Structure 1
Amino acid sequence: MEHIIGVLADTHIPRFKALPEAIWRHFADVELIIHAGDLSVLSVINELETIAPVVAVQGNVESDEVRRALPLKRELVIGGCRIGVVHILSPDSARRRRSEEEARLEAARREFPQARCVIFGHTHVPYLRQQDGLLLFNPGSATDRRSQPACTLGRLYIEDASGSPRGEIIPLT
Structure 2
Amino acid sequence: MRLLLTSDTHVPVRAKRLPDALLAEMDRADVVIHAGDWIDEATLDLFEARSRRLIAVYGNNDGPPLRRRLAEVARAELAGLRFGVVHETGAATGRERRCAERFPDLDVLVFGHSHIPWDTEAAGGPRLLNPGSPTDRRRQPYCTYLTLTAEDGALHDVTLHRLPPRR
TM-score bracket relative to the smaller structure: 0.7 to 0.9
Is residue 2:96 matched to residue 1:112? no
Between the aligned residues of both structures, percent identity stands at: 33
Contact kept in structure 1, 2:26 and 2:50, CA below 8 Å: no
TM-score where L is the length of structure 2: 0.88
Once the two structures are TM-superposed, the CA of residue 4 in structure 1 deviates from its matched residue by 1.0
Cα distance in 2 for partners of 1:39, 1:141 equals 11
Q: Following superposition, which runs of at least 4 residues in structure 1 exceed 6 angstroms of deviation?
A: none
Q: 133-142 vs 20-29, which deviates more?
A: 20-29
How far apart are the structure 2 equivalents of 1:112 and 1:131? 10
For 2:106 and 2:69, locate their aligned partners in 1 and report how far apart those are by CA, in whole Å.
Answer: 24
Alpha-carbon distance between aligned partners in 2 of 1:131 and 1:66, rounded to the nearest angstrom: 30
Would the aligned equivalents of 2:9 and 2:136 in 1 still touch at CA under 8 Å? yes
Give 1:94's aligned residue. Answer: none
Q: CA RMSD in A?
A: 1.7
**Distance apart, 1:131 and its partner CA:** 4.5
Aligned to 1:86: 86
In structure 1, how many angstroms separate the alpha carbons of the residues matched to 2:41 and 2:102?
25
| In 2: Cα distance, 1:10 partner to 1:109 partner | 23
Q: Which residue of 1 aligns with 2:6?
A: 8
Q: Distance in 2 between matches of 1:23 and 1:54?
A: 14
| Aligned twin of 1:96 | none
TM-score, reference length from structure 1: 0.85
User: Aligned residues, how many?
Assistant: 160
Q: How far apart are residue 145 of structure 1 and its match?
A: 0.5
> Letter of the aligned partner of 1:165 in structure 2?
L
Q: Per-residue CA shift, 1:74-105, capped at 9, x if unaligned? A: 111001100110000135xxxxxxx82xx111
Point out where structure 1 has 5 or more consecutive residues left out of the alignment: 92-98
2:77 alignment partner in structure 1: 77
**Partner of residue 137, structure 2:** 145
2:155 to 150, 156, 165: 165
Q: Is the 8 A contact 2:96 2:121 kept in 1?
A: no
Instruction: Find the residue that maps to 1:153 and give its secondary structure.
Output: strand
In the other structure, the counterpart of 1:129 is 120
Give unmatched runs, 5+ long, in structure 2: none
Mark the CA change 1:20 to 1:27 in structure 2 (over 3 Å): closer, same or farther. same
